[in-house]
Amino acid sequence: MVDSDTRRVTFHDAFIPEDDMLKVDESIGAFQVAWHQALLAAPFLGAAARALEEARKFLLSVRTPDDKPLAELDGMILDIGRLAIKYRAACAISYEAGQALEWVASNEPNLPRMIDAYNLSCAAKQVGAKCAEEIVGAVRRIIGGRSFSGTHPLERLSQEVMFAPLGGEIDAVTERRFGRLVLGDAEFLSHPW
């Protein structure tokens, strides 16, 4: 995330054999958007992992007045444990979205499976983005003011991770789709949760 840089690529007189061309239709477009949604969580979950590592290093190196590492305080153990569980859950839904998209890519077209993969990808993006924001913010509070110094990794992560929810489909669109799905005619557990 630190050195992300997008550059324009221009092809002049490019020749692509017809067999190598991708024919874009609605299903390819939906599949492409679903992959984009699923992949959006990855850099931000990477930021969350780095924040947890910074918390680990901080809590092991800073000591209490009675010379015990902060990492031995029950409250710190609980706080980091909760954050680690949220991180694991966000990674799990991202992995599941990837598996669903891999199935769609490897099999004959199947609209219900494509719709499920799309919905799962959108959910993975939202869960991953919110998880990353929460973890980076919580670790910043644990470490305190030194996390705002220009050289501390959390300074950069804090600046980047706030953009996680803004990429891809916005949360309200995903939430409305899931709300309509749950409030529709089919029973809740009939959906592929």
Average pLDDT over every residue of 118-140: 94
Structural domain tally of the chain? Answer: 1
CATH number assigned to the domain comprising residue 90: 1.20.140.10
Are 54 and 23 contacting, i.e. CB atoms less than 8 angstroms apart? no
Task: For residue 146, give every residue at least 6 positions away whose Cβ sits within 8 Å of its Cβ, in sequence order, or none.
Answer: 152
59 has pLDDT over 60: yes
In a domain, 176, yes or no: no
pLDDT in tens, 64-116: 999 999 999 999 999 999 999 999 999 999 999 999 999 998 998 888 899 89
181: tokens are: 């799905």
In a domain, 94, yes or no: yes
Average pLDDT over every residue of 28-46: 85
In a domain, 63, yes or no: yes
36 has pLDDT over 50: yes
Are 136 and 53 contacting, i.e. CB atoms less than 8 angstroms apart? no
In a domain, 8, yes or no: no
pLDDT in tens, 13-24: 877 777 666 555
Domain hosting 45: range is: 26-170
Element holding 106 (H helix, E strand): helix 74-106
pLDDT in tens, 147-181: 878 788 888 888 888 887 778 888 899 999 999 99
The pLDDT mean for the chain works out to 87
16: tokens are: 């692509």
Task: Give 69's strand partners.
Answer: 63
In a domain, 9, yes or no: no
What is the pLDDT confidence band of residue 2, given thresholds at 50, 70 and 90?
very low
* pLDDT the model gives residue 154: 87
In a domain, 1, yes or no: no
* pLDDT the model gives residue 34: 86
DSSP annotation of 110: -
- In angstroms, the CA 167 to CA 6 distance is 15
3-state secondary structure of 130: helix
What is the pLDDT confidence band of residue 1, given thresholds at 50, 70 and 90?
very low
In a domain, 191, yes or no: no
In a domain, 72, yes or no: yes
5 has pLDDT over 80: no
Its pTM stands at 0.80
66: tokens are: 């009675």
